[in-house]
Amino acid sequence: MENIVVTIARQIGSGGYDLAKSIAERFNFKLIDRELIIHTAEILKTDVSYLEKKEEKVTSLIESILSVFSIGTPEVGSLSNNTYPDDKEIFETQSKVLKSFAEQHNIVALGRGSFFIFKDYPKHLSIFLKANLDYRVKNISKEFNMDRDQAIELIKKTDEARNQYIKKMTGLNRCDLRNYDIVIDLSSVNFELAKNFIFDIINYEFFKNGGSK
C-alpha cells in the first residue's frame, strides 16, 4: 500500500511550519524538514551548513540582512563551488531522499520543491499557504526579533530566492496556484479553521473511516 504524502509550499511568515507540525501530530505522519538536510549532506559528503545556505531556507538571508542594518552579525562567507555540490545535484539528491522517506512513512514535506517532486504521486495532497504583507511582517518580526523594515527586507529577499530556486530546479513558477490542490490565505482565514479544514480533507481523501484505514 502506498504511503500518504502531504506537501506544503509557503510564503515566509505565513505559518507553514505550524501547519506541517499540526498535520504530523494529528495523523502521526513523519515531518520532513531538517532531517532532509542531514541525510542529503551525508550522501553528498558535504557540510549541513553549506546546504542550509544553498537551499531555500532563510538562515544566511537573516544574517545578511541583520548585517546590512548594522546589528553586528557577520555576513556568512561564500564557499567554493569547485569543491561543493551545485544546486542541481543537491535538488536531485534531496528528491531521492524525500522519495525514500515516502516509501517508508506517511510524510509531511515542507518546501524544497516537494510539490513538484511528488506531482505524479497517487496519494499526494499539495498545499500552498499565502498571507498579506502585514500578517507576514508581524510573524517574522516576532520570530526573528526584527523591526518592520528588517522583516520586509527579509520577506522580499526570501521570496525572490525561493522563486528563483524553484524556477531553476523545476521550470515552474512557485506562486502559480495551479500547481497546488489547496491554497489558503492565512491572513484571511483563522489558523484553527484552516487547520481543521486540512484535517477534514486528509480524512476524506485518504481515510474513509474518520481517520482509520
70 pLDDT more than 80: no
Q: pLDDT band at 82, cuts 50/70/90?
A: very low
Which of 71-75, 93-97, 170-174 has the lowest average pLDDT? 71-75
The residue-averaged pLDDT of 8-13 equals: 95
Q: What is the separation, in whole angstroms, between the first and last Cα of the chain? A: 11
The residue-averaged pLDDT of 118-144 equals: 95
206 pLDDT more than 80: yes
Which of 44-53, 107-116, 139-148, 167-176 has the lowest average pLDDT? 44-53
State the pLDDT at residue 81.
42
What are 9's strand-pairing partners?
128
Residue pair 41/47 in contact by the 8 Å Cβ criterion: yes
State the pLDDT at residue 211.
46
State the pLDDT at residue 54.
66
209 pLDDT more than 80: no
The residue-averaged pLDDT of 173-202 equals: 95
State the pLDDT at residue 126.
98
For cell 514535506, name the residue: 109
Q: pLDDT band at 58, cuts 50/70/90?
A: very low
- List the grid coordinates of 126: 499539495
Q: pLDDT band at 83, cuts 50/70/90?
A: low
Quote the CA–CA distance of 118 and 121 in Å, as a whole number. 5
